[in-house]
A and B are shown apart, each in its own frame.
Chain A
Amino acid sequence: MTTDARDTTPTVRDFEGRIGRLLIGLTYIAVAFVVVGVGLMVASGIGPLDGGPSIDPGKLVADLGSLEPAAFLWLGFAIVLVTPITRVTVAGIAYARQGQWSMVLVSVGIVVVIALGVGISLSTER
């Protein structure tokens, strides 16, 4: 059974509110990492036009430990980039619990298309 099209039930409103708070929270965490990264850039005498390193997930934790500015910036940007995808995933799970399978399909479709885009980019880059 699916719920009515006009989602005004307390459950749906609560769920929208939770997603809203998730988006705001993740954004502020991301901004905090970017601010620290920029602060470390200034402290290290690095300019915006100096050319930053590419993201290297394998070295991220070690670079964070050694206070590398790029590591904090990349962590912040990674959170920025995954925030909307997290929102879609959380909404998809909530829709699955409500039995709204067409919306679950839409959620899965979005994630698949994004993954496809990254996969194609990585393969053509090589």
Chain B
Amino acid sequence: VVVGLLMVAGGVAAGLFGSLLGLGGGVLIVPLLTLGFGLPLHQAVGVSLVCVIMTSSAASGVYLERHLVNLRLGMTLELFTAIGALIGGSIAFLLEERVLEALFAAILAYVAVTMLIGGRASPADAETPPADAATSLAAATSGEPGAGDRLSGEGYRVGHLGLGLVGSTGAGVASALFGIGGGIIKVPVMNLAMGVPLRVATATSNLMIGITASASALIYLARGEIDPYLAGPTAIGVFLGATLGSRISHRVDARILRLLFVGILAYTAVQMLIKALG
């Protein structure tokens, strides 16, 4: 019972942090299960993927109702995250656990640095569509539309589709290898490279996490790497944490939270690296 409660509590913390900071929570669930409970990485990844889909589905449902998602763009990129997940899922079981742990430590360090840098940027700037949106929109509505134009949304034009497809494939590989949603790759690619406003990029990425993680999770399920007794309490915790996070997000100082989270990620990255190095 104590272990179960600890897993629920850990899941609540991961879901809460993930929800408040716009992450799926996978970057915390996997270290929690491997470093905290000594589980093999593959099993932790399997559990994490189930939790990530659960929170993503609920959140993206709300985003869809509010029409914040670019569904066409999301589905087009999903095809490539699914291909990435297929590649990642095949590689994951060929690599040594230590290699995966070292790579996971690198991912954690990358997320920590990204969050630190992202915290300094003005959210208002980030949510504003690109300065040339009006011009781009005019170009998009004249003449024969290209693939990017067909995927554009209200007030912005999607550019660099090729880069988005490559980024999405990479996010799919990362998801299958590390049990994360891949939003940390997809959101910057959509926002910075493709010109999608941050709010739409976040909502669309959240929707895509469902397919990315489902493609990966089904591979783990087929290989018997999802344990229902482990996943149950953790998933409930993550769901509770994410629900709580969405309700209190407006009351929390995101800067302090971000710094705290960066500290936790950095510490976890070091611990994961130490584990990898034996």
Question: Is B259's beta carbon under 8 Å from chain A?
Answer: no
Cα distance A107–B75 in the bound complex, in angstroms: 7
- Contact, CB under 8 Å: B90 / A20: no
Q: How far is the CB of B42 from chain A (nearest CB, A)?
A: 12
Which of A17, A27, A125 meets B222, CB within 8 Å? A125
Chain B residues with CB below 8 A from A22, complex form: 61
Contact pattern, A 70-85, Cβ under 8 Å of B = 1, otherwise 0 = 1001101100111111
Which of B61, B89, B145, B153 meets A27, CB within 8 Å? B61
- Contact, CB under 8 Å: A30 / B75: no
Chain B residues with CB below 8 A from A76, complex form: 232, 235
Nearest B residue to A117 via CB reads B86
Number of interface residues of B (CB under 8 A): 63
If A5-B140, A17-B65, A81-B50 touch, does A117 touch B236 (CB 8 Å cutoff)?
Answer: no
- Contact, CB under 8 Å: A38 / B236: yes
Mostly helix, strand, loop or mixed at chain A's interface? Answer: helix
- Contact, CB under 8 Å: A116 / B86: yes
Which of B82, B226, B230 meets A48, CB within 8 Å? B230
Question: Is B250's beta carbon under 8 Å from chain A?
Answer: no
Question: Is B118's beta carbon under 8 Å from chain A?
Answer: no
Question: Is B79's beta carbon under 8 Å from chain A?
Answer: yes
Chain B residues with CB below 8 A from A49, complex form: 3, 37, 229-230
Question: Is A88's beta carbon under 8 Å from chain B?
Answer: yes
Question: Is B48's beta carbon under 8 Å from chain A?
Answer: no
Cα distance A63–B140 in the bound complex, in angstroms: 56
Q: How far is the CB of A107 from chain B (nearest CB, A)?
A: 7
Contact pattern, B 200-229, Cβ under 8 Å of A = 1, otherwise 0 = 000000000011011101110111101111
Give the interface centre of A53, A54, A82 by most chain B CB atoms within 10 Å: A54
If A5-B140, A7-B71, A91-B71 touch, does A114 touch B214 (CB 8 Å cutoff)?
Answer: yes
Contact pattern, A 18-60, Cβ under 8 Å of B = 1, otherwise 0 = 0111111011101100110110011000111111111100000
- Pick 8 A–B contacts, CB within 8 A, sort by A: A41-B4, A48-B7, A48-B229, A77-B50, A84-B213, A110-B211, A113-B215, A118-B222
Beyond A20-B62, A122-B222, 10 extra complex contacts between A and B, CB < 8 Å: A17-B67, A27-B54, A31-B235, A34-B235, A41-B229, A77-B228, A85-B211, A91-B71, A116-B86, A121-B219
Residues of A in contact with B (beta carbons under 8 Å apart): 5-8, 13, 16-17, 19-24, 26-28, 30-31, 34-35, 37-38, 41-42, 46-55, 69-70, 73-74, 76-77, 80-85, 87-88, 91, 102-103, 106-107, 109-110, 113-114, 116-118, 120-122, 125
